Each structure stands twice: as C-alpha cells, then as structure tokens.
Amino acid sequence: YLEESGGGLVQSGGSLRLSCVYSGNRFNLFDMAWYRQAPGRQRELVANIFSGGTTNYIDSVQGRFTISRDNARNTLYLQMNDLKPEDTAVYYCNRNAKIKFSWGRGTQVTVSS
C-alpha cells in the first residue's frame, strides 16, 4: 500500500516536497520511483532511486528535483524546486520494476505561471 502526500498549488519557481509512505515490509530492498500523469497524457517516470541509493532523472527535471528515501520510515521523497507549469500533474510513487504495487491515489501538483 502506497500513500502519497505533499502536493499543492504553487507559483512558477516555487518548491514542494512530496512524500510516499509504503505500508509493507522490505522497503529497503525495492528500487523505487516517482511517476507523474498530466491531463491527457500517459503516466511517465520522473525519477528513480535504487535500493543502494543511486538516482536517475528525466532530462526535464534534472537539477531541479531530488529523489531520496528513508528506509527506516519506509518513505520515499521528491524535493521539487524551481517548479514550472509543465510540472503540473498527479504524482505517484511505485516500484521501478515491471511488477508494481497497486497504485496509490497520487498527489496533485499544480504550478501556476
């Protein structure tokens, strides 16, 4: 079970920190990722973090977003800085794997220009 939080309405250039709590075991073993889905578009992977801590980002968020994890709290984070209107979407967390957990409700991020 995944529960995302931390979204909201911000102005362009603002910041948000998203959190995702996993209610299960062995969170530390999973490669995790943040995804987003904008209206009328397919869900896309935004950033991922391997169990060992290595991270990757799509080009459009590189240098602005930071993914991190706290295995003791079973929590995944996404720090988003210098937000742009094109970042507007519902953000989800899940495994970075073919077999995923059930999707949570996500958290809405809206960036106004």
Q: What is the pLDDT of residue 45?
A: 98
Q: Residues 29-64: pLDDT tens digits? A: 999 999 999 999 999 999 999 999 999 999 999 999
Q: Residues 104-113: pLDDT tens digits? A: 999 999 999 9
Q: What is the pLDDT of residue 7?
A: 98
Query: What is the per-residue burial (b if ≥16 Cβ within 10 Å, else e) of 24-34?
Result: eeebeebebbb
Where are the extended beta strands (E) located within 38-88?
A: 44-49, 55-57, 65-70, 75-80
Q: What is the pLDDT of residue 39?
A: 92
